Structure 1
Amino acid sequence: MEIQTMNKLEKEALKKSGTDFTRLGFALFFMIGVLTFSFLSNGGISNNMFLAVAALIGAYMAMNIGANDVANNVGPAVGSKALTLTTAIIIAAIFEAAGALIAGGEVVNTIKKGIIDISAFGGNPDPFIWAMMAALLAAALWLNFATMMRAPVSTTHSIVGGVMGAGIAAAGFSIVSWATMAKIAASWVISPILGGVIAAIFLFSIKKSIVFKDDKVKAAKQYVPIFVAIMSWAFVTYLTLKGLKKIWPQVVETLNMLPLVAIEMTKKPTLTTALIFGLITAVIVYFFVKTKVNSSTTTLENNKASVNTLFTIPLIFAAALLSFAHGANDVANAIGPLAAINDAVVNGGISSKASIPLWVMGVGALGIALGLALYGPKLIKTVGSEITELDQIRAFSIAMAASITVIIASQLGLPVSSTHIAIGGVFGVGFLREWLHLNDVGRTIEDDKQAIIDEKKNLHAYNAELKTLEAKDAKIQEDYERIVELYKFIADEEKQIKTAKKSIKKTKKVEFVKREAIKKIITAWVVTVPAAAVLAAVLFFMIRGIMV
């Protein structure tokens, strides 16, 4: 038996190591391919080796974004079993790449969010190139480590920390915009709280209007189309604002060719325009879903599990749209510094903005998709099932929070992280479940508390009587019998009080959110910027030491 067990363990170990080597092989093949392509296609440029190495690091960073950040978009859908892990990876990879290539920004700020003042480099491109290379590599290494530890962290904060640390190493602390850094630190609190509160509100609304009703099928028939329409409104608004910035002029030109349509030409979509697009879509979706729900209610059972199935299709669309918008926006985290290095190498100077060549955008898009496929499952499982148990309704609420929070925060000028919002949403639905549980068992807790009060009164009376009897000088037979009886009563009362206290403690101790996961994730969030900064500073000094 032991030999068979050892053989099984050996086979599993060989299988796992074989899979790990295969993944590593694909990743190395992609990075070496990017290195070779960049070197050969820019052969006539001086310092082209710097650009080729930067492209390799950019590819590494893109894969780490795919492995870590994309889990927030599809993790809840996988955890709720609306999507299988394989299907989620395929959908996310396609839409992440599509978002990056179709709607990724044509021009990106080379210094992410204005973290450092590029004038401090004095127009010298060499230290600037070294700093950007160090920032990119530091952010990628930190993301790699966080993924290994199953901690979903902000890729934006990773690259921000990298740029800050490399900038300080290159030109001192005065180069950093500390006001911007203060806003980013504020986002550590703002993002998860907003995401958690909005997710909890939607979950409670769905439970109150559908799940808690006696006739759940009738309630679902009335309210599911409304909730899905609201989701459509939020997502189309979100996608218009965040995902169509690059191609907005072409979208306006196309729409203005239609009869009775006249949209003012702007550089990017306004909130009003996005809300109108969302409202039109929401109305169409409402009637479509209402028809579908009406036709399916005859086959639905009057229970929560059956109602959950009505949110499966909306969740799949939510995962796809979140992935598209994420690819359009966060691809800059991988290729922003790479675009800056490319611009500095090609033009021999430093610019605050740089056009992104198609090949650079392709590195970001393909790298994100590949990283998700190879190393994404770890974080997808963490987000989807290792923080709190999710079903379709809870995952739907988290997706709603992700889109609505970004819209609200962007209009208020609040710095938020999509990672922190999504994880905050997971925490929000988990803590709401705990609160609802305590309310469900509240009557039991009150009964136990009242029992403790009554038992203590009896215990006090028994002890007082016992003290009086024991103080008597001349005791008769009945006194001794009563003393024995009182000792028994006191022991019983103390036992009942102890039992009631244990019952209260056990009832309150039910946790639907794993506390260890909270500690690990929050620690990773707080450490991300300083860790990436220190690592980037060390890497900058190493690169400068090699080059000088």
Structure 2
Amino acid sequence: MAGEPNGSQWKTLDKDLNKISQVEYAAQYISRPMVGLGVALAFIVLVAIGSAVFFGGTPTSLVVVMAAAFGAYMAINIGANDVANNMGPAVGANALTMGGAIVIAALFESLGALLAGGDVVSTISKGIIDPSGFADVRIFVWAMMAALLSAALWLNLATWVGAPVSTTHSIVGGVMGAGIAAAGISAVNWPTMGKIAASWVISPVLGGAIAALFLAFIKAKIIYQDDKIAAAKRWVPVLIGIMAAAFGAYLAIKGVKHIIKIDLVTAIIIGALIGGAAYAITAPLIAKQAEGLENRTKSVKTLFGLPLIFSAALLSFAHGANDVANAVGPLAAIVHAESVGDFAAKVPIPLWVMVIGAVGISFGLVLFGPKLIRMVGSQITKLNPMRAYCVALSAAITVIVASWLGLPVSSTHIAVGGVFGVGFYREFHMERRLRRTAANRPEVKRIPAEERRRRKLVRRSHFMTIVAAWVITVPAAAAMSAVIFLVLNAMVG
């Protein structure tokens, strides 16, 4: 039929259509990261518009609108970076899918922020800067604005690099840098800064040591027993009880502090009662779940799956209850200063400010969280449900110990330190077994030292990147904050 394409023309047409399809696929692949950025930007703009409508009739509305936008940006970056520490081990151990982890984390982070988040926050970040050192309210507002923006920028950069850093230390550095630029070095409470610097070492070392001890305990009492299933039925409920006790005490101290003040001894008693109840409930459930399982390590790992999911959810709730203040603390300070015309060390957090923090963290987690979740969960060292459970357990216990010692610790440093602790313990344990094998069975060929170094169970490149990011977080955020404050002050001055 005239005008109808012949065989070769059909082939040409197919090739052309295929090229168009490939271009479409490429466009979709390239635009995927842009979708997250677009949604994040839309959220920040909506927050700014909402605050403009809410404060539209006041003469200071522009300042509050800017602060609200910066607060939303900060919350998104907390969700992208900080929340990975709670969910990474569970995802790395295959106890949760990435989608399931994101849903659970977003829900429990928001619940923790809105239900148990403190209604009073120390806006000067635990007394780092003396408010009386500021010349006037306007200087204080620009200092808080600079602290908020610099901390958010640093978290954004760390997430892009792939380093889980401390939100608390980021905002501490931001407040310190802006405070020095605004009121001089004497305005900084250096003993408090010394405690925070000490926590850089104490948090990860303590978290790692506790995680390694629990892993050693599990290996000795369960994995290396002749009847692994019987040992698991005996000890897994005990470990769950310890976890429940730690979380119970933690939430008693932190979660209800704005309703009732609970001292550490009372919190530990509450935790012990909750732990006993958890043991009583889970012992028969674990026994039932263990029925018919084969006597091997793989079977034991399945018994830790569900407790690990619960621990990840509780860690997210606790994180939302406490760390959301890092996003909204300076914003609350700015809103208070602009509304009252004065500044204070502690101010109430309005509900709308808390909602910005909670929703922003959830957005950041959904849009940008998977990168750091994979890093913490699988790229530092290989995790299974038992190892991940040790990390979660150490995180809860380390916070309790730190509260008892009065140390300002970072949940990020504790959780990632726990992952390092598990990995380094596995390296130590492997080396010890190789030495024993060489001593007892000299006929077995020994692995060369160079090959053993290559087989290290903790990736040194990630270890060095993360530690370096931890060390420079406070000075980097402080330097950025000082520069931002000077720019803002010069623009409006």
> Of residues 350, 353, 357 in structure 1, which corresponds to 2:346?
353
Change (3 A) 1:9 1:391: farther
Report the AA paired with residue 124 of structure 2: I
Q: 1:506: Cα distance to partner?
A: 2.5
Report the AA paired with residue 460 of structure 2: R
Q: SS state of the match for residue 118, structure 2? A: coil
**Matched residues in 1 for 2:59 and 2:195: separation?**
39
The structure having more radius of gyration, on CA atoms, is: 1
> Of residues 224, 230, 238 in structure 1, which corresponds to 2:242?
230
1:371-410 pair list within 5 angstroms: 371-410=364-403
Provide the residue aligned with 2:8 in structure 1: none
Provide the residue aligned with 1:18 in structure 2: 31
Report the AA paired with residue 107 of structure 2: I
> Of residues 93, 111, 132 in structure 2, which corresponds to 1:98?
111
**Matched residues in 2 for 1:504 and 1:6: separation?**
51
Q: SS state of the match for residue 303, structure 2? A: helix
1:543 matches 2:463: no
1:520 matches 2:473: no
**Matched residues in 1 for 2:22 and 2:271: separation?**
54
Q: 1:546: Cα distance to partner?
A: 1.1
> Of residues 449, 464, 474 in structure 2, which corresponds to 1:529?
474
TM-score of the pair, normalised by structure 2: 0.93
Q: Please tell me the root mean square deviation across aligned C-alpha atoms, in Å.
A: 2.1
**Matched residues in 2 for 1:99 and 1:318: separation?**
14
The answer to whether the 8 Å contact 1:445/1:507 transfers is no
Change (3 A) 1:5 1:148: farther
**Matched residues in 2 for 1:205 and 1:333: separation?**
36
Report the AA paired with residue 161 of structure 1: G
**Matched residues in 1 for 2:17 and 2:88: separation?**
36
Provide the residue aligned with 1:159 in structure 2: 171
**Matched residues in 2 for 1:61 and 1:435: separation?**
39
1:495-514 pair list within 5 angstroms: 503-507=448-452, 509-514=454-459
Change (3 A) 1:137 1:444: same
- How many residue pairs are counted as aligned between the two chains? 479
Change (3 A) 1:146 1:441: same
1:402-421 pair list within 5 angstroms: 402-421=395-414
Change (3 A) 1:183 1:5: farther
Q: 1:17: Cα distance to partner?
A: 2.4
The answer to whether the 8 Å contact 1:110/1:352 transfers is yes
Q: 1:502: Cα distance to partner?
A: 6.7
Provide the residue aligned with 1:170 in structure 2: 182
Change (3 A) 1:47 1:278: same
Q: 1:227: Cα distance to partner?
A: 1.0
Report the AA paired with residue 185 of structure 1: A
1:428 matches 2:450: no
Report the AA paired with residue 131 of structure 2: I
The answer to whether the 8 Å contact 1:103/1:247 transfers is no
**Matched residues in 2 for 1:42 and 1:389: separation?**
50
The answer to whether the 8 Å contact 1:135/1:165 transfers is yes
The answer to whether the 8 Å contact 1:243/1:324 transfers is no
1:322 matches 2:315: yes
**Matched residues in 2 for 1:109 and 1:57: separation?**
18
**Matched residues in 2 for 1:66 and 1:104: separation?**
16
Change (3 A) 1:198 1:501: closer
Change (3 A) 1:238 1:10: farther
Q: SS state of the match for residue 466, structure 2? A: helix
1:115 matches 2:60: no
The answer to whether the 8 Å contact 1:46/1:345 transfers is no
Q: SS state of the match for residue 347, structure 2? A: strand
The answer to whether the 8 Å contact 2:289/2:303 transfers is no
Report the AA paired with residue 157 of structure 2: F
**Matched residues in 2 for 1:391 and 1:30: separation?**
36
**Matched residues in 1 for 2:17 and 2:241: separation?**
56
Report the AA paired with residue 59 of structure 1: A
**Matched residues in 2 for 1:287 and 1:415: separation?**
34
Aligned-pair identity in percent equals 54
**Matched residues in 1 for 2:231 and 2:21: separation?**
51
Provide the residue aligned with 1:139 in structure 2: 151
Provide the residue aligned with 2:42 in structure 1: 29
Q: SS state of the match for residue 376, structure 1? A: helix
**Matched residues in 2 for 1:129 and 1:186: separation?**
29
**Matched residues in 1 for 2:384 and 2:427: separation?**
15
**Matched residues in 2 for 1:167 and 1:32: separation?**
28
The answer to whether the 8 Å contact 1:434/1:510 transfers is no
Provide the residue aligned with 1:43 in structure 2: 56
1:194 matches 2:139: no
> Of residues 432, 447, 468 in structure 2, which corresponds to 1:439?
432
- Which structure 2 residue ranges, 5 or more long, are not aligned? 1-14
Provide the residue aligned with 2:303 in structure 1: 310
Give deviations 1:290-322, integer Å, cap 9, x for gaps: 111222222211111110110111111101111
Q: 1:11: Cα distance to partner?
A: 5.4
Report the AA paired with residue 181 of structure 1: M
TM-score of the pair, normalised by structure 1: 0.84
Provide the residue aligned with 2:228 in structure 1: 216
Change (3 A) 1:443 1:504: farther
Give deviations 1:55-76, integer Å, cap 9, x for gaps: 0000000110011000011110
**Matched residues in 1 for 2:432 and 2:103: separation?**
41
Give deviations 1:76-130, integer Å, cap 9, x for gaps: 00000000010001000011011111111111111001111111113x1111111
- Which structure 1 residue ranges, 5 or more long, are not aligned? 249-267, 452-498
